[in-house]
Amino acid sequence: MESGRHTFNLQANCALSARQAVAFFSGIAAVSLGIAVLFVTRGYWPVLPFAGAELAFLAWALRASWRAGQAREKLVIDSDEIVITRWDPNAEAPSTTRLPRSWTKAALIEVRDRRGGEQLALGQQGRWWVIGRFLGEEERRRLHQRLSQVLRQNGHIGPR
C-alpha cells in the first residue's frame, strides 16, 4: 500500500455456524433419546440418565468450540504505530494494544507447552505480544513473512 497503512484481519476458522451447530445437536439428541427411550420401554431405565449426561457434555463441547471459533484480531500498521485489537468471545469488550512501529519486529517463538510448535508474536525491547493463536501453522508462517516485510518498509529498522 502506498499510504503506509496496512490492515490485517485475523479470524478463527469456525466450521459450524450457530444454526448448523443447533441442527447437528438436535439430530444427535433425537437419535440418542430415541434409542434411550427404546431401552427404557424394555425396562432398562438407567440408560436415560447416561443419555442425558452425554447430551449435556455434547452441548457444552459444541458451545465451547463455537465460541472459540468467534475469536478474531485486527492489526493496523501505520507509519508510526501498530494497533492490535482483539475480540475474545469470553470478554465483554475488545482489548486494544498500541505499539510504536519503530524497532518492533515479528517473530515465530517456540512454545514450551504440551502442544509445542511456534506462535507468532510482535515484540520489542524484550516484550512480546502473541497474535493469531487460532491460526494454523502454515497461516502463521505466511503472516510472519508478510508482517516482517511490512515492518521493514518505509525506512524502518531491519534488512530489506
Domain boundaries, the chain: 6-13+72-152, 18-68
Domain 6-13+72-152 has CATH 2.30.29: yes
Claim: this prediction has a pTM higher than 0.75: no
Task: Report the pLDDT value the prediction gives residue 4, as an integer from 0 to 100.
Answer: 75
Indicate if the pLDDT at residue 111 is higher than 80: no
CA dist., res. 140 & res. 13, Å (int): 13
Three cell numbers, residue 36: 434411550
Kindly report which listed range (59-68, 85-94, 129-138, 150-159) carries the lowest average pLDDT score: 150-159
Task: Report the pLDDT value the prediction gives residue 158, as an integer from 0 to 100.
Answer: 44
Per residue in 63-83, is it b (16+ CB within 10 Å) or e — as a string? eeebeebebbbbbebeeeebe
Ranked by mean pLDDT, the top range of 1-10, 37-46, 60-69 is 37-46
